[in-house]
Structure 1
Amino acid sequence: MQTNPHWITTPITADLLRGALDLERTEHGLLPHRLPARARAQCADPQLAMAETQPSGVRLAFRTSATAVELDTLPTKRNYTGAPPRPDGVYELLVDGRPAGQGTVTGGNVMTIDMTAGTAEHRPGPPGTLRFTGLPDGVKNIEIWLPHNENTELVALRTDAPVEPAPDSGRRVWLHHGSSISHGSEAATPTTTWPALAAALGGVELINLGFSGSALLDPFTARTVRDTPADLISLKLGINVVNHDVMRLRAFGPAVHGFLDTIREGHPTTPLLVVSPLLCPIHEDTPGPCAPDFSNISKGEFKFRALGDPAERASGKLTLRVIRDELARIVAQRQAEDPHLHHLDGRDLYGEADSAELPLPDDLHPDAATHRRIGERFAERVFGAKGVFADGKP
């Protein structure tokens, strides 16, 4: 609701957004998507639909002399039957690249998910308002990072001074694709997912195509990466293939080759980094599938367990060790003809020593502190002076 007669309402358009690949007009406003419509039409999986509309890495970016900003949004919040309510998604304000505030939006739709029954109930709710006041005087660049784990429809943007799209930063664009860990999993805020942290430390503009539960070597994802302008590309592959138990070793290798071939159609010489899985003890030697353990969910404790049999590796079932070996082999094979293709063992980002110090709380996803460690490690090893994405490297 507009209470200040001096508010200026600015239509939210694509040139005010970064990190989104598509905008859908809804009954209430605009819904950012991280997959284009053609890709979405090729997969009816509700998990992917939820993941790609959660705007990890998506932010409003504009230039203004305003000292007050209001943003109306319609969030869709997720609750799980039998579990304590989840906290509201966090919005983060950056002024000239520096953190300047956080907020949440109450109200909105509520999706109640019963994981034991495999059902979901949707209850509609009203939009809410995010408000930042007391901003510094003078013209400045504003970014509002949307919650990385909460579906968010953008309804209205109001300021007390005119707004224009933020100028091109001139920084390189880094496109990253991965699983829920890249999406943000248990990160505390949208700018502290490990890719967002790495992007800030590396001085690049992030496009985050991390999709919770959905890094499955899908051809439509490869085509999306192929068709999206980017200066740097990284792919963190493997964990979802194991915990969904979607393919065997015979299919995995050709699928990786095909994924890389498709990307190279649009990015023939772009630096391309393949990252193998982080350490995940439950799947190092035990194949998938992976299933949630609900035994202590009423206490707020939620874990995952691997259901496969280690003996099944002999018949081609995949484990993380098998996948790491296969990814290293594939990259080495291709490098003779593709000198811009690189490989990073995910255990260099999170390995045995890290697991002992910072174990995965649910046995699958890193917590906020571990996201920070992974982001800092990635920035050092990949964007640092000796890294394959170092600024100035051909």
Structure 2
Amino acid sequence: MAVVPVPDVSGPPAGLPATALEGLGTRPFGVYVHVPFCATRCGYCDFNTYTAGELGSAASPRSWLDALRRELELGAEILGSAPAAETVFVGGGTPSLLGPDGLAEVLDGVRSVFGLAPGAEVSTESNPESTSPEFFAGIRDAGYTRVSLGMQSAAPHVLRILDRVHTPGRPVDAAREARAAGFEHVNLDVIYGTPGERTGDLRASLEAVLAAGVDHVSAYALIVEEGTALARRVRRGELPAPDDDVLAADYELIDSVLSGAGLRWYEVSNWARDEAARCRHNLGYWRGGDWWGAGPGAHSHVGGVRWWNVKHPAKYAGLLAEGRSPEADREVLTGADRYLERIMLELRVSEGLPLSALDGGGVAQARAAAAEGLLEESVLDSRGRAVLTDRGRLLADGVVRRLAG
């Protein structure tokens, strides 16, 4: 396999304007850590990930861990009196490839540099095939409180189309192992709408999820991303593109089955057993919080400034070894940007968006959407909130566009 070339990118200074730091600590603050390593590449995935064959000798987990610590220290220096992290989320990639010792080192870095708030939520994504009872016991001892496992489907032919290498029953076993290790909060990810997936396949996947006894489920419609192996197969006519009507029917089935089992939606693509089971880190995103994203390609946001790191792990490590920022670029959100983002993000959660956040045109559109059954009737009361109905969730993007004007 060819080695991915290291791009010639220099990281600009990463200082933040004083206006971005105003109010730091009054908003939710979290730390996201991106692990860029995968054992194999899934055909549908366009995340910033690399296999060992693609990286060659250009980067390693050890060089990444060393660079990560330097970036965390840079973040604490830039943020100054940054609050302790209320949430930490280690994503990827495949964080479980680091093993319990590597993940413990990641969390130790966050803890020693930023500190952890009392009762902090600490999550990691994991591939079921690279976990074991010993793995879960190790990361639980290290301080992780939540595990998210990539299941995607229980149907072997669906997993093959997605290029997933785990066996169909392994995610359920892994979820049970995590619970036995003391994890109260365990999530399983499901992807629906894969070409060739039948209604019965999706039902079987949902039955497996419920049998695992998890308290959180994330379900995402398959998106054919440009540049992926799946996109090339669709373009060549080997596989059909996902059908919007099928996706809508699948979503309704997922919501019905999960709700019937006591898991309620709290964000368009997420269901939880109760409020304690909700992913607080992601709620921080949806509620306009601040976070430092560390790792190759990671995105950050503080006080209306968004930036992202260089993607290649070798370039990322090299810049930090030179005492330079790994930042690739940034944008300062305008008032109009922040208005749109607030509508787009808060409308996705079950508590909805307060009408006071909308301008006159947005309020009028919200009332019209309520009259059409896309928002709950409470929006007709000027003191209410814009909350999506079941039908509105299927058409959420259109509702956002209407409210944003």
Q: TM-score, normalised by structure 1?
A: 0.31
Q: Per chain length, whose mean CA-contact separation is higher, i.e. which structure has more relative contact order (CA < 8 Å, sep 6+)? A: 2
Higher percent of residues as strand: 1
Higher percent of residues as helix: 2
Q: TM-score, normalised by structure 2?
A: 0.30
